[in-house]
Amino acid sequence: MNPEVKEQDIRPEVLLQRYLELSAEDARECFGAEPRSAVACVACGGSNGSCQFDKNGFAYVRCADCGTLFQCEAATRLPRAKGRRARCDA
């Protein structure tokens, strides 16, 4: 890595903050009211875990069996786009 290149040079704080704001907005608009169901660990299929944190309305769990951190709820159907955010229709 070039010692003259700094993190701020390639990833300005203002752009990172805007990205985080847009990500949170998209999560609310695309998935906020959609029904969700619990899912097993994506690595081992285990069903025992402990909630670690919530981010943008999604709960994350650490599997007690293998230690994998994963989002523990999945949308039961694809979200519908609302307004100008047609990319939610993926």
pLDDT in tens, 11-60: 889 998 999 999 889 888 877 777 778 889 999 999 999 999 988 888 89
Q: Give pLDDT tens digits for 10-21.
A: 888 999 899 999
Q: 10 Å Cβ neighbour count for 41?
A: 21
Strands of the chain, DSSP E: 36-38, 49-55, 58-63, 69-71, 73-75
Rg over alpha carbons for the chain, rounded to the nearest Å, is: 17
What are the phi and psi torsion angles at 75 (to 5°)? -65, 140
Position 90 confidence tier, pLDDT thresholds 50, 70, 90 = very low
Domain that holds residue 79: 8-89
pTM of the model: 0.62
Residue 52 lies in a domain: yes
Residue 1 lies in a domain: no
CB 79 within 8 A of CB 90: no
How many domains in the chain? 1
